[in-house]
Amino acid sequence: MTQIYLHDTLKQRKVEFKPIDENNVRMYVCGPTVYDKAHLGNAKTPVVYDVLYRLLCFVYGKEHVTYVSNITDVDDKILNKHKETGKPIREITEQTYNWYIEDMAKLNVLPPNHRPRATEYIDEMIKQVEKLLENKHAYIAENQVLFDVDSMPSYGTLSGRSMKEMLAGARIEVADYKKNPADFILWKPSDADQPGWNSPWGYGRPGWHLECSAMSSKLLGNDFDIHGGGSDLIFPHHENEMAQSCGAYPGTMFAHYWVHTGMLMINGVKMSKSLGNFYTVDEILDKNPAEALRLLFLTTHYHQPFNFTFEGLQQAKGILDKFYNALLKNKDVPTIDIEPYSRVIEALADDLNTPLALSYLHEIVNDLNKAEDEEERSRLKSVLMKSAYMLGLLYNEPESWFKGEGSDDETAEIEKMIAARAEAKKNKNWAQADAIRDELKAKGIVLEDSPTGTIWKRG
C-alpha cells in the first residue's frame, strides 16, 4: 500500500499518515459561508482537498473514505448581507449555495460524501455546549455561553502562539463579562428578527466555531483523521474548534492531522476589495476556462503561498492546449484499464507535491507524441488519462476544449464552411479552399488537416 505523508500544522512538520481505521478514513474540510459569490480563495482550497480526496480513495478505496465539507448558513456575515440587500436570509443562502456548487462543478471538484448545513445540526450544537458547561469548560455571562480558554491548558498549541500573541493578532472582542479576553462565544442571543433556535439559554444561535465541531463530530466521530482548511483558519477558528471538541469529549484528540493551504495573493499582494484586486470565481471563469484555473492552483505546492496572475492563467491554458492536442491526435486510439503512472502517485503521496506530479504528466505527453506503435500509444494515452484524473485534469473532450464556448449556430456555420472547403479541395479548387481557410482564420478559427479529416480550433 502506498504510504502517504502530510504536513501536519500541529506537529509543524511532514509526518507519516496513519489513519485511525484503514476501512474508514475520515476527512473534514471547512466549507464556505454562503453570503456572496465564491472568490478565488474559496476555490483554491476545495481544489487542493479534492486532490487529497482522490489520493485517499486511490490508496484506501473509495468505499473506505468519508469526506465531509460543510456549508455555514447561519453567520453574522449573512445577517449583514440581509440588512444590506433586504433579501430574505433563506434566499441569500440558497442562491449563494447554488453559485458555489456550480463553481465547484466547473472546476471538477468531486462532491464530498456529506455537505452538511449548519442549520441542520443545531441540536448537536446545543448538546455540545451542555457538555462543555458540565465539564467546566464554559460559563454563562450576559445571556451568552462562552468557552473558558483558561480551563484548557493546551489552548494555543495548534497555532503555536502565546496568549499575548493571540490577543494581539486577532480581532477579539474585549468585554467586561469575559473571564479572559480570548474567551469565545458558543451560544449567543438572537433578536426576534434574527435566525434563532430555542435552547436552555434562551432563543439564540451558535457561534461560528461551534458549528464545525458539532457537524464533524456527528458525521465523523469525536476522533477522526484529517481536518483541513485555509491557513487563515488556524487561529482562531481551528484553535477554538480543537479546544471545544476536546473539552466536550475528554480523552479525544478531535483531528489527528491538521492540513492547511497557503495564503492566496494577487500579483504578490494579498487579495482585498479595498485594493481593487478581489476576484470572484465567476469573474475569472467568464473569460477563462475553468480547467486552466484548476491547473494553475496545482502549479504551486498547497502548503506555500499561492500567487495568482493572469499571465500564469494563460500559461496554464497553454499547458492544457499541449495536453489536449496530444489527445486530439490520438482520439481514435482506444484506452485500456491501467494504473496511473507510479511516479505521479509517489509525488502526490509525498505531501501532495502537485508541481512534481504535473511534471510527470508532461513526460507522458512527450512520450505519447513520439510513440509510433499503436499499442504503445494506447498504453500511454491510458496512463495519461488515469494520471490526470488523480489531479482532476483532462476532464473535457479534446474537441470541446479547443472549440470553446461558441453558440450552436456559430459551430454549425464553421462546420458548414469546413465542409465547403473539403468540397473545393475535392474539386481541386485550391483558390476557394484557401479563401475559406483565410476567412475562418480571420475569425480566430485555425484548421488542422489530418488523414482522418479536418480539425478546427480557436486560435
In Å, how far from its chain's centre is CA 390? 14
317: left (phi over 0), alpha (psi -120 to 50) or beta: alpha
Domains defined for the chain, CATH in brackets: 5-261 (3.40.50.620), 266-400 (1.10.730.10), 406-458 (no CATH)
Run means of pLDDT, 10 residues per run, the chain, 459 residues: 97 98 98 96 97 98 98 95 94 97 98 98 98 98 96 94 70 81 96 94 96 98 98 96 98 97 95 89 95 98 97 98 96 96 98 98 98 96 98 95 74 82 85 85 81 74
Q: Look at the chain and count its residues.
A: 459
What pLDDT is attached to residue 411?
74
| Predicted TM-score of the model (pTM) | 0.92
What pLDDT is attached to residue 404?
76
CB under 8 A, 24+ apart: contacts of 164-173 = 166/235, 166/236, 166/239, 169/235, 170/235, 170/236, 172/236
What is the distance between the alpha carbons of residues 300 and 296, in angstroms, rounded to a whole number? Answer: 8
What pLDDT is attached to residue 276?
86
What pLDDT is attached to residue 456?
81
Q: In terms of DSSP bridges, do strands 223-230 and 25-29 run parallel, antiparallel, or are they unpaired?
A: parallel
Rounded alpha-carbon distances, angstroms, from residue 392 to 108, 286, 292, 293, 308: 6, 20, 11, 12, 19
What is the distance between the alpha carbons of residues 154 and 237, in angstroms, rounded to a whole number? Answer: 15
What pLDDT is attached to residue 418?
82
What pLDDT is attached to residue 448?
81
